[in-house]
Each structure stands twice: as C-alpha cells, then as structure tokens.
A and B are shown apart, each in its own frame.
Chain A
Amino acid sequence: MHRRVRPTSTVALATTLALGLTGCAGWGGGPSGGGPDTINVLMVNNPQMIDLQRLTKENFTADTGISVNFTVLPENDVRDKISQEFSSQAGQYDVATLSNFEIPIYARSEWVAPLDEYVEADSEFDQDDILGPLTESLSGDDGKLYGEPFYGESSFLMYRRDILEAAGVEMPEDPTWQEVADIAAQVDGAEPGMAGICLRGQPGWGQVFAPLTTVVNTFGGTWFTEDWDPQVSSPEFREAVGFYVDLVREYGETGAPQAGFTECLNNVIQGNAAMWYDATSAAGSLEAEDSPVRGLMGYAAAPVVETDSSGWLYAWSWSIQQASAKKDAAWEFISWASGREYEELVGEELGWSKVPAGKRASTYSNPDYLAEAEAFAAPTLAAIENADPNDPGAQPRPAPGIQFIGIPEFPDLATQVSQDVSSAIAGRMTVEEALDRGQELAEDVAERYRERESG
C-alpha cells in the first residue's frame, strides 16, 4: 500500500464538518413554540383544516396577535399522537382536533377542559346556532361541553339521477335497503365498467364499519345490549352484514375489499359507480366546479329497514388539553375557527363549496351557501338533525354513538372484526365465520365492562 491521499477525501471530511457547523446554526430556524401569544394546534390533514391553516395568519393572528403553530398529520397518526399527548397530559399542544367519538371518553378521564365558561363569557360565539345533535354528542357524561365542532357530517345515499332516469327507475325519498339493492341490480353495468353501488370494504373501524354499523343498526342489530351482552353473532347482525356483503359482491365496485372513502369518491367522480352510500361531506367534492358529475347527482336519506332514520353522526371538533397553560388564547382560536364569521370568510376567500359546513343552522339559511350547495344542503341538514347518538337503533345502548360505540376499546375491536368482514367481501371467508370470531372478541370487551359494573 502506498500513500494515496486523494484530495476528494479531505474535501468530503471538510464538507461533513462544515455541514455540521451550519446545521447547528440552522437549529434556531424552527418556529418558536413557547411565546406567550403562541398556541400549538395538532390537527388532522383534511382539506378543511388546510384551508384553515391558509387563512389563520392573515385573519386570526392579524386580529388577535395570537400566532398559531400547526402540526398536521394523517388521520391514524394524529389519533395516535393525540391519545399519547393527552393521556400523558404532556401539555405540548393547546388545541387538537378530536371527534365526537373521543371527546366523551377524554372528558371522562379529564384530559380535555370543559368549555361552558368560555362559551358563556364569549358574546360573539353563538352556541345555540350549533346543531343540537352535535352539541349533545360533544358533551361529557357530566353534561358539560368539551368540544366545538369544526364541521359535521351524517351519511346519506348519493346516486346518479341521469343513470337512474335512463334505466327508468325512481329513487324514493326515504328508501329502504331492499329498494336500494333492487335499484343497484337494475343500474349495474348501465355504462361500461359502472358498478350498481359503491360501498366501503376496506378494513378499519372508521372505514367499512362506519357505513356497516349504520346498516346493522337499522336491521335491528347492535354490538352490545344495554347490559353488555355482545350481539355480533345475533341473527340481526348476521342478516345485516350478510346483506351488505352480498350487495357489494354482486353489484359493488371492483376492488371492494380495499375501497374506502377516497376510492369510492374516485369511482363516482370517474363514472364507475351509479350509487354511493357514504358521508354527507362527500357531496361537496361531487358538486365541486371541476367535478365531471356536478349537477348529475341526487341525494336521498340513508336507507332504512326497521328504524326511521339511520344516518351516522361525526364531527371533527376542537378541544383544549386540560394541561394547557394557554386556555384563553386556545378558546379564542376555537371561537374563531368554529364561528359563523369563519364560514363567511371561507366562502368569500376560497369559495362557498369549501365552507366547513354541517354544524350551524345559520349555514343552511345563508343564500350564498345555498346557491352553491342547493343540491345537497337540505338532505345534509335533515340527515344531521335526524341523527340520534343516544338512541340509534332498535334497542337501548350501553354507550353513545351511531356508527361506533363510545368506548376506548371500540377501534381495536371493530378493526379486528372488519378485517374478517373485508375477507368475506373478498370471498375468502363466510360471514358466519367472520362474525363468530367477532363475537369472541366482543365477549372479551363485554366481560371487562360487566366486571366493572358489578364490581
């Protein structure tokens, strides 16, 4: 070996060191996390939140002097991060986006701060304008309010009016599931590659089990009876899941076992599905200016069997962490983001179709909003107003919730069962097998609650 010092080696080392030094200097470049007029907000990456981020600096910060640091994460990540942050009361974030699923649970553990005093003291914030079912579902067992909705949604049936007309069928205003299945059979393949109906089949408690639990409810089934008797393998639950799986297997979209909200949205926009049962908030995308199906859609109430209504209720909402040291500033932010004026700001700056709707009665009497959302505004409002999170089915429930049971174990339980249901949709398993396994899992959860109640 001879000494062969290449100049590049020295350069490489020097570059490493230089990078190290500049790197140290760059550390100060981060946003400041701790100023007295700065709050930290942890939120889910949904389009409405990104719009909010866009408008915050020039409107909220300019008016109040409070600057806002946002951390934006995808839905599953944000749920993990929020439960980790709130359960340890780490106090890093003042405000987070929670849903009506988490808020009553978090309130029971005192992880989120009650908002009643702030609401009372804030004359500009019109709480009575918030739709009743939402206020109810964002309150804790103690009756106090723990969250303010940012936007709310229920579920309804979306369908292509033109396709149904061409096939000579009419959609009833309040269809039953059997009527929907019959229509799906008639319009399946109406255009090349068009499925009769798009239904979620992707595993996940918030994917396939959001629409499916509403179907179970209206078929007279439930996950648990009032005294924690698991009912997953009961005849009603079985019939509902069997109906759903048959419907999607016969007249559903291709790739149904992997299809979630986004896939179905794409299917409908691209003309690959004639009907779709999903969130009311999807209508905004279907009627957006660049949507090929704009003006072609009709909207009917969530299909029913035994109950009068079956739409779900969901609201991404703002809550304040109990450990937050800046609760006043945090409330100012919530009051702005959930307020009526913010909706008008979005309407004027970004367009009325982007308004975070579904939470205030006044939105549905606003002529500017109605001009844009005429096709789906009334069905959306009716769906949300008809939703009853405390009595969603044929029997009393042990915990509130329509498309979920408001207990911390539910995501885990329903996600496990959903994997088998998704397999049933793929044809790798029968519905009976899937639900028998689900019953065992539900039994474990129920046992814990029965013990707690008797002990």
Chain B
Amino acid sequence: MSSVTDVAPVAATRTPEGRPRTPRKPRSGALLGVAAWLIGILFVVPVLWMVLTSFHSEEDAATNPPSIFAPLTTDGYREFFGVGTGANPWPSLLNSLTASVVSTVIVLLLAIPAAYALSIKPVRKWTDVMFFFLSTRMLPIVAGLLPIYLFAQFSGLLDNIWLLIVLYTAMNLPIAVWMMRSFLAEVPVEILEAASVDGAGLLLTLRRVVAPIVLPGIAATSLICFIFSWNELLLARTLTGTVAQTAPVYLTGFVTSQGLFLAQVCAAAFVVSLPVLVAGFAAQDKLVQGLSLGAVK
C-alpha cells in the first residue's frame, strides 16, 4: 500500500481548467464522445422508459409492440398514493427513510474512527483487520435469514424498525470501513506532520486538516450506504409486517398475477427511487470527486 505517499491522480483526465492532459487528435476525441453518449443513453433509457410507462394507462402499458405515444395520465401515481384504494404509502416511505438515515449515521460514526486506526495511525496487522471486515460480507445474507428471523421472533423484534437499523448498519459497516480507509489513506503524511509541528492536537487536526480533505469521501460513503439500505428488500420483506414495512416491500405489493400492473409499478418505482436520485444530485460534485479520488482507484 504505497499509495499513501505517491498519489497520482490517474482517474482525473482533465485539469480543473478544462485543458486536456494529453493532446488528442480531434477525430478520436469525437469518436470517444459518441461512444460515451451511446453508453450513457443505454443506461438512461430503461429509467426514462419506466418514467414514460408510469404516465400511461394500464392498457397502454401492456400492449405489444409498446405504444410510446399513448395519452398520458397520472392514474398510476394516484393509485400509488392510495387515492381510492385506501392504501397509504407514507408510513413505508418514512420507515425506509428512518432505517436508511439512522443506519448510515451509525455506520459513519463507527467507520470513520475504524478507518483512521487502519490508515493514518495503523494498528498492528491492519491488513488482517481489513480482511476480517471483508470476510463478514462473504456469507450471503440469505444464509443467515432463518436464524435472524427466529432470533427476532424470540426477542420480540419482528416488525420493528430498529432491528432493520441494526442489520443495515452491520451490512454496510465493512464497505464503509474499506471506503473510508482508502479515502483517509489519501491524506498526505506531511500535512499531518506539519499540523503536529504547529502544535495542533488530535481533535484539531481531525477537524481542521483531515475532515476537509476526506469530506468528498464521507459524502460518497454515506450515499452508498444510504442507497444500499434504501433499496434493501430481502431482510425487510422477511422481518417486517404492518408497522415497520419499508418502501421496497410496499413497492412489490403492486405486482399481481391477475390483471395489469405495469403502469402502477413504474409509478411506484419512480417515486421510491426519487429520494436516492435527489440525494445523488445534491452530492454530485462531492461524489465524483470522492469516487475518483478514493476507493474505485
């Protein structure tokens, strides 16, 4: 792990001034641009398709070949918000928000000190520790599902949002430690030494020197933990009932084996993915910075 000292910004292809690092022939640049656009469109089309379908009527959504120019309607959204059906999506949305946000905060509170002890002031055998963290992810969650269910049943924690918070924290902690370690490893030792020479204590160094450098990393880590918790279905479906039901479970409830449901499910899926989209857009610049600086390198 020599990356602590020789940090080469490999992933950054352009300088902040917009000047390309290596002058390219214009034609290959244009080709690359077209390829990038094509790939980008390929990834976005299913999402756009989902949004379009969500504004169609059930009959138009089910036709084959698909009817792209069918009249638009908001019926799918009205169904989702329970107009006329008596269903109420808000408790499940709030439950998802609670589980995701609280578990993300706990994960950060635990992962940052752990990552500090694995990078800036590494403990002995820190590589073994890293491997241990990773190994907790090697058991598929489904293998532990039955014991978790029985434990929850005996301890009266079924259908309790705090059980999900604990499980999501455990689920995301290893990833967060790994990500935060690689971000903290980017902090040049010289800066820390300079701070210490200037007489800064540990807390001051953390607050004034380390935090500003790794903030993009924290943003990226929290967003990833948030997304994983927000989207989690297996545990939520098994362990919750009427009180702690989360949004993904509520979303699957629109699937029926008798009758049409595509438009409704698309509307529900769009509403449920909105918070993640919003969080992603809000943290976009930090995210790009964080992901290109740290873990993905």
Contact = CB atoms under 8 A, between A and B. Distances in A.
A and B interact: yes
Interface string B154-188: 00001101000000000000000000000000001
Contact of A47 (B161, B218, B242, B259): B259
Contacts of B249: 73
**Max count, chain A CB within 10 A of own CB: residue among B90, B259, B282:** B259
Interface in B66-98: 84-88, 90-91, 94-95, 97-98
B94 A53 contact: no
B245 A9 contact: no
Interface in B200-231: 208-209, 212-213, 215-216, 218-219, 222
A92 B158 contact: yes
A86 B149 CA distance: 13
Interface stretch (A16-24, A177-185, A241-249, A334-342): A16-24
A24 B98 contact: yes
Nearest to A33: B243
A93 interface: yes
A416 interface: no
Interface in B245-297: 245, 249, 252-261, 282-283, 285-286
B153 A262 contact: no
B219 A9 contact: yes
Interface string A15-41: 111011001101101111100000010
A29 B97 CA distance: 12
A90 B254 CA distance: 25
A47 B254 CA distance: 10
B282 A15 contact: yes
Q: Chain B interface: which size bin?
A: 35 or more
**Max count, chain A CB within 10 A of own CB: residue among B87, B209, B212, B238:** B212
Contact of B208 (A3, A4, A15, A270): A3
Contact of B258 (A1, A6, A16, A46): A46
A12 B86 contact: no
A75 B90 CA distance: 23
Contacts, number: 147
A374 interface: no
A1 B158 contact: no
Per DSSP, are chain B's interface residues mostly helix, strand or loop, or mixed?
A: helix
Interface string B41-59: 0000000000000000001
A329 B288 CA distance: 55
**Max count, chain B CB within 10 A of own CB: residue among A19, A56, A261, A290:** A19
B118 interface: no
A366 interface: no
A84 B208 CA distance: 52
Contacts of B91: 29-31
B242 A31 contact: yes
A74 B253 contact: yes
Contacts of B88: 31
Contacts of B153: 88, 90
A28 to B, nearest CB: 9
Contacts of B161: 27, 30
B250 to A, nearest CB: 9
Contact of B62 (A47, A74, A266): A266
A366 to B, nearest CB: 23
Nearest to B255: A74
A27 B98 contact: yes
A390 interface: no
A74 B63 CA distance: 22
Contacts of B114: none
Contacts of A265: 259
Nearest to B105: A20
A12 B243 contact: no
B241 interface: yes
A92 B241 contact: yes
Contacts of A285: 259
A12 B221 CA distance: 12
A12 B283 contact: yes
B97 A23 contact: yes
A260 interface: yes
Nearest to B108: A16
B259 A26 contact: no
Interface in A90-119: 90, 92-93
A262 to B, nearest CB: 7
Contacts of A270: 63
A45 B100 CA distance: 27
Interface string A41-83: 0100111001001111100000000000111111101000100
A166 interface: no
Contact of A5 (B84, B102, B104, B212): B212
Given A53-B87, A71-B241, A262-B258, 15 more contacts: A12-B215, A12-B283, A13-B215, A19-B97, A20-B104, A23-B100, A26-B97, A27-B98, A30-B91, A40-B242, A46-B257, A75-B256, A88-B150, A90-B153, A92-B241
Please give me the 10 A-B residue pairs with the lowest Cβ-Cβ distance, nearest first.
Answer: A26-B94, A9-B215, A69-B242, A74-B255, A33-B243, A23-B101, A30-B91, A72-B253, A45-B256, A23-B98
13 contacts: A4-B212, A8-B285, A9-B286, A12-B215, A20-B101, A24-B102, A30-B91, A30-B244, A45-B253, A71-B241, A77-B252, A92-B158, A265-B259
